[in-house]
Amino acid sequence: MYETATILAQPPAPGGPGDLKSYLPLILLFVLAGAFAVFSVVVAPLVGPRRYNKAKLDGYECGIEPSPQPVVGGGRVPVAYYLTAMLFILFDIEMVFLYPFAVTADALGVFGLVEIFLFIATVGFAYAYVWRRGGLDWS
């Protein structure tokens, strides 16, 4: 452990990630977002009209519909939801490689462009499979 500590000891660079000053704009942004949320919630009931109906009292875009029978196993959540969630995770995470590519696209040149299109094509094969096999049908 001692040896590990000696090679690891390294002070944070000024203005670098270890320096908290560089987080100031981020903190300001959080404060702004929070203030806006509070403002909306407080002011909307005061100035807006009040007309309730059933649809308005529903959960709004909160994903899983409550199941009719919470039996163990059978139907806690619609199975289709799992499928969509899994597909989303898969295609979403694959895109992580596009960020490093985008940042260095100029430096990588034509070869990099060809490679990234090949990569997108392989993801496209998977997409074609999912689409043709009905993985995207919500029923």
Partner 1 sequence: MSVLATLVTAAQPVPVPAPPAPAATITQPPISYPAIMPILIILGAACVGVLFEAFLPRHNRIAAQLVLSVLAILVAGWRLLSYADEMPETGTITLGRALAVDKPTLVLWATLLVLTIGALILMADRTVERGGYFVADAAVRPGTVQDRAQAGRGEMQTEVFPLALFALGGMMVFCAANDLLTMFIALEVLSLPLYLMCGLARRRRLLSQEAAVKYFLLGAFASAFFLYGLALLYGYAGSVQLSDIANAAAGTNRSETLLFGGLGLLVVGLLFKGSVGPFHTWTPDVYQGAPTPVTAFMGACTKIAAFGGILRVLSVGFGTTSWEWRGVLWGVAIASMVIGAVLGLTQTDVKRMVAYSSVAHAGFLLIGAIVLKPAGLSATLFYLVTYGFTTLATFGVIGLVRNADGEATHLSQWAGLAKRSPLVAGTMAFLLLALAGIPLTSGFVGKFVVFQAALSDGMAPLVVVAVLASAVAAFFYLRVIVLMYFSQPAEDGPTVTIPNLWTTGVLTVCVLVTLFLGIAPSLVLDWTSSGVFALQ
Partner 2 sequence: MTPTYYLLLSALLFTIGAVGVLVRRNAIVVFMCIELMLNAVNLTLVTFARINGSLSGQVMAFFVMVVAAAEVVVGLAIIMSIFRTRRSASVDDSNLLKY
Residues in touch with partner 2 (CB under 8 A): 4-5, 7-10, 12, 17-18, 72-74, 79, 82, 86-87, 89-90, 92-94, 96-97, 100
Asked whether position 71 contacts partner 1 by CB under 8 A, the answer is no
Asked whether position 109 contacts partner 1 by CB under 8 A, the answer is yes
- For residue 24, the partner it binds in partner 1, partner 2, none, with Cβ less than 5 to 8 A by kind, is none
Q: Which of 1, 26, 55, 72 binds partner 1 (CB under 8 A)?
A: 1
Q: Enter the DSSP assignment of 131.
A: H
Closest listed residue to residue 91, CA positions, set 63, 38, 42, 128: 128
- For residue 23, the partner it binds in partner 2, partner 1, none, with Cβ less than 5 to 8 A by kind, is none
For the chain, the distance separating the N- and C-terminal CA atoms, rounded to the nearest angstrom, is 57
Separation of alpha carbons 112 and 122, rounded Å: 15
Write out the two tokens for 11.
């002070």
Is 12 or 34 the residue whose CB approaches partner 1 more closely? 12
Separation of alpha carbons 29 and 27, rounded Å: 5
Report the SS3 class of residue 99. helix
Is 32 or 114 the residue whose CB approaches partner 1 more closely? 114
Asked whether position 123 contacts partner 1 by CB under 8 A, the answer is no
